[in-house]
């Protein structure tokens, strides 16, 4: 059973990263040469970066936060550069607040600045917050100027971006959110595990006492196509409804149901209850996963017309990310389907580990616990 221990150890890092990825929310408004901004940064990220919990009791109080206001502002603004027509804008702290987002409490740094000219043609943003500590961190930018509103995602690969004022490139925003959709599905371990738990039996055939190997590739391909299509249609429906504020569900409920869906899908592989028509399972739980995808966009606070553009791009990005996963998985699984490596280690052992990990996520999310550090 050494392979089981090795597999569990390999999966342990996922336990600590099953929650919402690290984001900050950067809003900048231009009024001539004057610049006004607000930067929402998660307390958990600031604790990791500079330490806020002075007494080590696991809770950050208002007093602890207030005493570190100057250090928080210095840390944040030292990692932000704003240039107007390639000339730096001088930034200074204008105030401190606290706000709550769907994934926790955020420190809010308000800042103001003066740019060299009020008749600027382009604004360049350089963003370096937390990249040295967390390469998955993203800065979600909302830039408002007299010519319109621009949104962007700032990442280590695109940490410095230039925006032509007076021109709003909708195609550029579309591509940015499509790229972010791909990235989100690849780092959304709970979504990936749910999909894989449904895909694992695709190269097997249900029998009275369990599973047998599929004889041909075509039935396995069509089974996967039905599962992925059902999941796609379902999460696209709820992603759209939630992102457009038609339906809203509590974040903890959504995250708990996502963990439950992963656990049930994995347990069904070990003790089959739903042997056929797994596309129905994919559709039902895909509705829940759509609310999870929507949480990435919901905190942006974008204008409706921009939110719709971001929604379409993000959704297509998620689909592209899923296609990559399926394309890599299915030929590999079909080739190994008859051997004990797939039947015992990948299908049996993998399903057991997925169920165990999902059970930990479910417990954490239901009771607001942190069972493992991360």
- The predicted-structure confidence for 200-209, as pLDDT tens digits, reads as follows 999 998 777 6
Distance CA 9, CA 353 (A): 10
Q: How many CA atoms lie within 13 A of 193 on its CB side?
A: 30
Angle at 313 between CA 121 and CA 192, to 5 degrees: 135
Q: What is the mean pLDDT of the chain?
A: 86
CB 201 within 8 A of CB 269: yes
Contacts of 344 (CB under 8 A, 6+ apart): none
Query: Considering only CA atoms, which of 25, 231, 22, 53 is closest in space to residue 132?
Result: 22
Q: Report residue 235's pLDDT band, with 50, 70 and 90 as the boundaries.
A: very high
358 within 8 A of 18, measured Cβ to Cβ: no
Evaluate the CA torsion angle 47, 53, 56, 57 in order and state its sign: negative
Q: What is the DSSP letter of 347?
A: I
Torsion sign, CA atoms 331, 337, 341, 344 = positive
Supply the pLDDT for residue 169. 66
pTM of structure = 0.73
Output the pLDDT for position 4.
41
The Cα–Cα gap between 362 and 259 comes to: 5
- Tokens 């739903």 -> residue: 274
Query: What is the number of helices (H) and of strands (E) in the chain?
Result: 12, 12
CB 184 within 8 A of CB 21: yes
Does residue 170 have a pLDDT over 90?
A: no
CA dihedral 365→302→139→259, nearest 10 degrees, is: 20
Query: 74 near 129, Cβ under 8 Å?
Result: no
What single string gives the DSSP state of each residue in 45-58?
HHHHHT---TT-SS
pLDDT (0 to 100) of residue 304: 61
Relative to beta strand 138-145, strand 23-31 is parallel
User: pLDDT tens digit string along 39-81?
Assistant: 999 999 999 999 999 998 888 999 999 999 999 999 999 999 9
Helix (H, G, I), strand (E, B) or coil at 38: strand
Cβ proximity of 82 and 34 under 8 Å? no
Say which DSSP state 246 is in: S
Phi, psi of 130 (to 5 degrees): 65, 0
Q: Could you give the C-alpha distances from 91 to 23, 116, 141, in angstroms and in order?
A: 22, 12, 17
Model pLDDT, residue 11: 45
Residue 110 tokens, joined:
């308000």
Q: What is the pLDDT of residue 310?
A: 78
Task: State what percent of residues in the chain have pLDDT above 90.
Answer: 52
């Amino acid at each position: 059973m050494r392979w089981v221990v090795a597999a569990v150890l390999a999966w342990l890092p996922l336990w600590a990263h099953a929650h919402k990825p690290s984001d900050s929310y950067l809003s900048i408004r231009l009024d001539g040469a004057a610049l006004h901004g607000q930067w929402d940064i998660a307390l958990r990220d600031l604790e990791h970066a500079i330490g806020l919990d002075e007494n080590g009791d696991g809770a950050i109080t208002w007093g602890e936060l207030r005493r570190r206001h100057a250090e928080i502002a210095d840390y944040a603004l030292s990692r932000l550069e704003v240039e107007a027509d390639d000339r730096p804008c001088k930034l200074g702290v204008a105030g401190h607040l606290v706000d709550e987002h769907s994934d926790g409490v955020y420190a809010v740094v308000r800042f103001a600045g003066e740019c060299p000219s009020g008749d600027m043609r382009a604004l360049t943003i350089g963003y370096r917050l937390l990249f040295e500590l967390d390469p998955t961190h993203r800065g979600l930018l909302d830039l408002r100027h007299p010519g319109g509103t621009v949104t962007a995602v700032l990442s280590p690969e695109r940490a410095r971006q230039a925006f032509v004022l007076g021109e709003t490139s909708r195609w550029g925003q579309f591509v940015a959110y499509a790229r972010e959709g791909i990235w989100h599905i690849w780092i959304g371990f709970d979504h990936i595990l749910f999909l894989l738990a449904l895909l694992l039996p695709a190269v097997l055939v249900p029998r009275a006492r369990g599973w047998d190997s599929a004889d041909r590739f075509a039935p396995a391909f069509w089974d996967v196509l039905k599962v992925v299509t059902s999941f796609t249609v379902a999460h696209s429906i709820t992603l759209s409804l939630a992102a457009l504020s038609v339906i809203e569900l509590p974040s903890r409920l959504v995250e708990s149901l996502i963990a439950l869906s992963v656990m049930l899908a994995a347990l069904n592989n070990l003790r089959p209850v739903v042997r056929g028509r797994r596309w129905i399972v994919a559709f039902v739980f895909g509705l829940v996963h759509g609310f999870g995808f929507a949480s990435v966009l919901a905190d942006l606070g974008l204008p409706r017309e921009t939110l719709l553009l971001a929604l379409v791009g993000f959704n297509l990005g998620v689909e592209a990310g899923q296609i990559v996963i399926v394309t890599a998985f299915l030929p590999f699984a079909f080739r190994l389907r008859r051997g004990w490596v797939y039947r015992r280690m990948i299908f049996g052992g993998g399903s057991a580990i997925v169920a165990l990990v999902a059970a930990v996520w479910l417990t954490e999310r239901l009771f607001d616990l942190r069972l493992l550090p991360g």
